[in-house]
Amino acid sequence: MKPVDQTTFGHPGGNCFSACVASILELPLDAVPYFMGDPVERWFARFEAWLERRGLYPLMLPLPEGPRGWAPSGFHILSGHSPRQPENPEALHSVVGYHGRILHDPHPSRAGLLSWKDTIVLVPVDPGRGGAL
């Protein structure tokens, strides 16, 4: 994991999620698209297609509400409520998690999350060809 910081901010338009993907895959930020564009409800399908070309699949798991909850081992992307917009439930923020704790917050404030909503684990499409991240 190589920490990458986000360069755009706010909801919509912040690229924290792309920065987390870049961090875990150790890519420059400009190598990872902004998946949350129009139509926003198709972001996960765009993310799946982009990862598939890299031999990976995103496994999204819901997490119990609250400041902490179960999270997988290894690297994962935690998403939840932003401490910068606590009154807006649509304003989600993403950070890199590792074994259930925040390892890297791509926002310059490094404030983390108020609560966790879900986590995404990147797994190999063909597990026989390499280990999970």
Q: Which pLDDT tens digit goes with each residue over 43-90?
A: 999 999 999 999 999 999 988 765 566 678 899 999 998 888 877 877
The answer to whether 72 touches 121, Cβ cutoff 8 Å, is: yes
Instruction: Report H helices in the chain.
Output: 16-25, 43-52
Specify the pLDDT at position 133: 54
**Amino acid type, 48:** E
**Peptide linkage before 62 cis (omega within 30 of 0):** no
For 50, phi and psi rounded to 5 degrees?
-65, -45
* Residue 38's pLDDT band (cuts 50, 70, 90): confident
The helix/strand/coil state of 67 is coil
Specify the pLDDT at position 69: 61
C-alpha dihedral (26, 32, 34, 39), degrees to nearest 10: -120
Specify the pLDDT at position 34: 95
